[in-house]
Structure 1
């Protein structure tokens, strides 16, 4: 008997499901509540349930797998071309079902609860870092309006503010000085919250063998290792390290016609946060590491710095996939052998 494929359009309260009964050929497009979806799938024989990889999709994937079904998560960009006429829940469910039938359609690996929690910690930390940067920049601007200039850099600038508080108090009106002192305390609280989140992230990294293996790659620290492992999920979801690099937007953008393909800048697809971490890690290797590696040193002789950084980030991502997919440990001078 053929397996039934369901196209499920999820939301907060309204859920639309499209499928074709394999025995009768009947086309069904029904609306459910959240509990009705769970009860319906719990009563059905094992099948394939296709979802759009959107908000709460990974929770639904884990729930549906627990009910005995196979889950296929699809990127919204791959579903949109199959939406016919006006966009509604019913047409979206049918488009998801249609996209899942296409041969070679790429899917997203469902994440575990721990992986989602780790990525949530990263998002919280990223927002706090952004807020701290805004607060420090505002502090610099307000003091500059009263003729007070500070050293470059967040740490050096804040240290100078604390050292010169008595001098600043004489220059700045009292009403503003009290507010500036409160802002300094607020920045300190943000620093404490960031450090607390980083400790939680490092704790997860220490208990995950995959994170420990990836962290041995030069340029990848606890933040990048945990974010990368949590984002990749199941390494089997990618056919190769090149496919992972393309997923992260670290490959050239292609534009071709008439049999001629032109390569541009990087595509910048996928998760910009992971791409930023990898590129910053690559820059750290280029400018901080004592042993940059023969490959990157030779590349830096003939290519611009930014190109080398992105190329090294691409290599780091591909190396990380290889370690995870083949359960290997990192070797400094490892040379891949081509199959004869």
Structure 2
């Protein structure tokens, strides 16, 4: 018996669905509200529901899967070529339905509630760090206007500011000095909030077996491990380690015509936050590790430091995918079996 495929275009309040009835061959393109959609799918025979991987898509994927349907998520870039005429909810639903049935189409793995929670904590931490950096830079600039310079570095600069408060107070107008004190206390509050989020991420890292196995890879710390496991979702959704590296934008951009292929810089596609964590971890291995592998030493001899860092980040991502997809533990001296010719 054929499985009905539904193309579902979601938004905050309006939900458009396109499908073809198996028995009659009739086209259907209906609009629902949230409750009507849940009730409709609950009464329908189990089928395949395709959604665009946008806001709330992972929540809907879990909700629809609980009703017995199979859910697939598609990247918006793969749907756009199938939008006919003007862009409306109805045409978007039909485009999703059409894209989901293309041979070789790649899908986004739905995330669990726990994985989404961890990614939310990472986003909150990232915003707090950005806010703290802005506050510290403004504090430096305001002090510099009155002839006060601080040491380079956030921790060293703030420590020097606190140690020399009496001397700085003599150089500053009372009104401004009072305001700067409030700003310093706000920075301390941001530090406490960041540490609290990091403790919550650390608890999940210790509890999640996948995070512990990934964290054993050199260059992957607690933050990178939790972000990597939560972002990947189902590791088997990627056919190979290179596909994961391409998903993270860590592979060269390819352009070619007439049989000639040119390689450029990395594509920088996908999650920029996770790519940044991996590259920073790779730099830590290249500059601070006392036990760099022979592969790292060879790359450093042949390529510039930045290229070597990206190459190592690519290797770390591939290793993480292999560890997760094959349910293994990291082994520094592991050598994969090459297929026989």
In the alignment, structure 1 residue 178 sits paired with structure 2 residue 178:
yes
2:102 counterpart residue number: 102
Measured against aligned partners, the alpha-carbon deviations of 1:192-232 in whole angstroms (never above 9, x if no partner) come to 00000000000000000000000000000110000000000
What pairs with 1:222-241 in structure 2 (closer than 5 Å)? 222-241=222-241
Give aligned pairs, total. 340
What pairs with 1:255-274 in structure 2 (closer than 5 Å)? 255-274=255-274
1:248 counterpart residue number: 248
Measured against aligned partners, the alpha-carbon deviations of 1:207-266 in whole angstroms (never above 9, x if no partner) come to 000000000000001100000000000111000111000000000011111111111000
- Aligned with 2:22: secondary structure? coil
In the alignment, structure 1 residue 48 sits paired with structure 2 residue 52:
no
2:11 counterpart residue number: 11
2:93 counterpart residue number: 93
Please report how far the alpha carbon of residue 126 of structure 1 lies from its aligned counterpart in structure 2 after TM superposition.
0.3
Please report how far the alpha carbon of residue 269 of structure 1 lies from its aligned counterpart in structure 2 after TM superposition.
0.5
2:146 counterpart residue number: 146
1:196 counterpart residue number: 196
- Aligned with 2:169: secondary structure? helix
Please report how far the alpha carbon of residue 336 of structure 1 lies from its aligned counterpart in structure 2 after TM superposition.
1.5
In the alignment, structure 1 residue 115 sits paired with structure 2 residue 150:
no
- Aligned with 1:253: secondary structure? strand
Measured against aligned partners, the alpha-carbon deviations of 1:14-59 in whole angstroms (never above 9, x if no partner) come to 0000001111110000000001110111111111000000000000
Measured against aligned partners, the alpha-carbon deviations of 1:299-328 in whole angstroms (never above 9, x if no partner) come to 100100000000000000000000000011
Measured against aligned partners, the alpha-carbon deviations of 1:159-195 in whole angstroms (never above 9, x if no partner) come to 0000111111011100000000000000000000000
1:160 counterpart residue number: 160
1: CA distance, partners of 2:49 / 2:61: 9
1:300 counterpart residue number: 300
Which ranges of 4 or more aligned residues in structure 1 deviate by more than 3 Å?
none
Mark the runs of 5 or more structure 1 residues left unpaired by the alignment.
Answer: none
- Aligned with 1:71: secondary structure? strand
2:315 counterpart residue number: 315
* TM-score, normalised relative to structure 1: 0.99
2: CA distance, partners of 1:109 / 1:155: 40
- Aligned with 2:18: secondary structure? strand
- Aligned with 2:72: secondary structure? strand
Please report how far the alpha carbon of residue 271 of structure 1 lies from its aligned counterpart in structure 2 after TM superposition.
0.3
1:70 counterpart residue number: 70
1:27 counterpart residue number: 27
1: CA distance, partners of 2:336 / 2:66: 39
2: CA distance, partners of 1:59 / 1:51: 11
1: CA distance, partners of 2:256 / 2:339: 31
Please report how far the alpha carbon of residue 339 of structure 1 lies from its aligned counterpart in structure 2 after TM superposition.
2.4
Mark the runs of 5 or more structure 2 residues left unpaired by the alignment.
Answer: none
- Aligned with 1:212: secondary structure? helix
In the alignment, structure 1 residue 278 sits paired with structure 2 residue 272:
no
1:330 counterpart residue number: 330
Please report how far the alpha carbon of residue 329 of structure 1 lies from its aligned counterpart in structure 2 after TM superposition.
0.6
